[in-house]
Amino acid sequence: MVDRADVAVVGAGPSGLAASCLVAEAGLAVTLLAGSAPVAGDDPRTVALMQPSIRLLAHLGLWPGELTAQSAPLWRLKLVDDTAGLVTSGPVVFDAREIGREPFGWNIPIGALTGALEQRARSLGVDILGEEAARLQTSGAAALLRTATGVSLSARVVLGADGRGSLVRAAARIAAVEWSYDQVAIASSFDHSAPHLDTSVEYHKDAGPLTTVPMPGQRSSLVWLERPERADTLASMSEEDFARSLQAALHGDLGVVSGIGTRKLFPMRGLTAVAFARNRVMLLGEAAHVLPPIGAQGLNLSLRDAATAAELIAGAAKFGDDPGGPDLLERFDRMRRRDVVPRQGVVDAVNRSLLAGSFLPHGARVLGLMLAANIGPLRRRIMHQGLGPVELPRVMRG
């Protein structure tokens, strides 16, 4: 027997769950193939979500609420040039009060976020199946998905939110450009004796950035990019030794470090799909683009993918148009490419300028930091651009 839905979503990470909620909220029948792994899992990551993403959560009735109590506001972002180069720059502080009255965003535990989105999806009537997509055929007026246990599902459009190794992307015959960096990120969290003052700090080091992001109380989350061998050493250290190494890497800026949380390693890769939509498929989140965790761009971009897809699909349904038709897919591709590709370029350039170890890219990065520190209008422009593009989906607008 073949089940039917207006929209099928593959992947129950934050991108797939957010898209499922938004499409169901518009009154369409949504089936989500969630895979067999638990949705929230044991993930030490937190995600810094900027105001447009917070507005999406508010639109879904999830903000303010239980999530807020587990999250911390981001009022200041500080960049510290911590390289051993001959020319270095002083720190640059971006303060949200320079451009408005609200924080840049909030730092939210990713497990709590996916848990809240899953609950909301269920309450909106999304049909969540603990099944893995195994095959996808995309010819004719519908797409046909088959799961590993033989369930068949037909839909007008499939939202591929199945992560970097996306089966949906491959089945829709969309190639991807992939690359890797000689780096691994250590994600964790820690207590500290000095207050974080609602400030996230990105230390630019020779092996990549080390970023601390405020959590409630005197605790911060950590994303520490290191060369693979050093990352392995840090990950297998005793808690005490790791705390000591971290405290030294932070130059004691947060006082005494203790209470190290779970440490998890993420090898650093990049990926861009050559098309973000084709053959009745729209790609969301890491199925479409992967970038290193610098400047908190990844999930913010993914939520904009989800909101854009939902807005286009709901618009098509309202006028009786095909939500998986070529015109709509082309529009989605154009809209998302404008946002994703330049941001991926900036993140890649910053990361490579640290790894290259040669004077020109290092000098350009240092010059950029100096200009941002000293020229107010440039600093404010960078802050506005960091929050998101001018053109936002309706549910993310202020």
Binding residues (CB under 6 A) for ligand FAD: these are 10-16, 33, 35, 37, 45, 47-48, 132-133, 161-163, 167, 185, 187, 223, 266, 285-286, 293, 296-300, 302
Whichever of 37 and 367 has its CB closer to ligand FAD, that residue is 37
Question: Which structure tokens are listed for 210?
Answer: 């080390």
- 254/288 with CB nearer ligand FAD: 288
Instruction: Write down the least CB distance from residue 176 to ligand FAD, Å.
Output: 14
What's 207's DSSP letter?
Answer: T
Calculated CA dihedral for residues 347, 350, 355, 356, nearest 10 degrees: 120
Of 294 and 329, nearer to ligand FAD (C-beta) is 294
The nearer residue to ligand FAD, 89 or 302, going by C-beta atoms, is 302
The amino acid at 199: T
Residue 379 CB, nearest approach to ligand FAD (Å): 21
Burial group, residue 322, by CB count within 10 angstroms (0-12, 13-18, 19+): middle
Backbone angles phi, psi at 86, to 5 degrees: -70, -35
Specify the 3-state DSSP secondary structure of 194: coil
Residue 183 amino acid letter = Q
Amino acid at 262: T
- CB count in 10 Å sphere of residue 57: 26
Q: How far is the CB of 367 from ligand FAD (least distance, A)?
A: 26
CA angle, residues 201, 206, 210, in degrees to nearest 5: 25
The pairing of strands 127-129 and 72-74 is unpaired
Of 126 and 366, the one with the shorter C-beta distance to ligand FAD is 126
Task: Yes or no: say if 133 and 147 are a contact pair by the CB < 8 Å rule.
Answer: yes
- In angstroms, give the least distance from the CB of 100 to ligand FAD: 20
Q: Select 83 or 302, whichever has its Cβ closest to ligand FAD.
A: 302
Residue in 161, 131, 144 with CA at minimum distance from that of residue 37: 131
Task: Identify which of 166, 175, 176, 174 has the alpha carbon closest to the alpha carbon of residue 329.
Answer: 174
Neighbouring C-beta atoms of residue 315, cutoff 10 Å = 14
Nearest alpha-carbon partner for 382 in 371, 393, 392, 396? 371
Question: Which CB sits closer to ligand FAD, 46 or 89?
Answer: 46
The residues, ordered by sequence, that sit 6+ positions from 373 with a Cβ below 8 Å of its Cβ are: 89, 90, 91, 92, 93, 379
Cβ 378 to ligand FAD shortest distance, Å = 24
- The set of residues, in sequence order, having a beta carbon less than 8 Å from that of 37 and lying 6+ positions away, is none
- Token match 């519908």: residue? 142
* Residue nearer to ligand FAD on the CB measure, 5 or 33: 33
Residue 337 is given by DSSP the state H
Q: How far is the CB of 12 from ligand FAD (least distance, A)?
A: 5
Q: Which is nearer to ligand FAD, 199 or 300 (CB)?
A: 300
As measured in angstroms, the least distance from the Cβ of 47 to ligand FAD is 4
| Residue 188 C-beta: closest distance to ligand FAD, Å | 9
> 10 vs 79, which CB is nearer to ligand FAD?
10
Alpha carbons 7 and 20: distance in angstroms, whole number: 9
Please report how close the Cβ of residue 391 comes to ligand FAD at its closest, in angstroms.
19
Q: How far is the CB of 133 from ligand FAD (least distance, A)?
A: 4
Q: For residue 132, what is the DSSP state? A: -
